[in-house]
Amino acid sequence: MFALGCVVIGFVFGRRGVDIYIKKSKLKGYPLEFVDPNSDKAMKLFGITDKKVISNVKAN
């Protein structure tokens, strides 16, 4: 019974681990950039260009 439980848990967590491994391997070779969500550059990436909206977001 315990062996069967371990196999089931292995399948559940192993599948997620394989998904993460595949996603990480697809990012190899690309430069990664971490941006502050409140920066002007990040706002423009999401299509927010209004200065008043940007200032309100930064205030909150």
Q: How many angstroms separate the CA atoms of 41 and 53, rounded?
A: 14
User: Which residues does 54 contact at the CB level (< 8 Å), separation at least 6?
Assistant: 40, 43, 48
Cβ atoms 33, 22 nearer than 8 A:
no
Is the entire prediction scored with pTM above 0.85? Answer: no
pLDDT of residue 4: 94
Q: Tokens 């008043």, residue?
A: 52
pLDDT of residue 22: 92
pLDDT of residue 47: 78
pLDDT of residue 7: 93
Domain assignments of the chain as residue spans, ordered by start: 2-59
Write the pLDDT tens digit of every residue in 3-47: 999 999 998 888 888 998 999 898 888 787 787 777 777 777 777
DSSP secondary structure letter of residue 49: -
Going by pLDDT thresholds of 50, 70 and 90, the confidence category of residue 60 is low
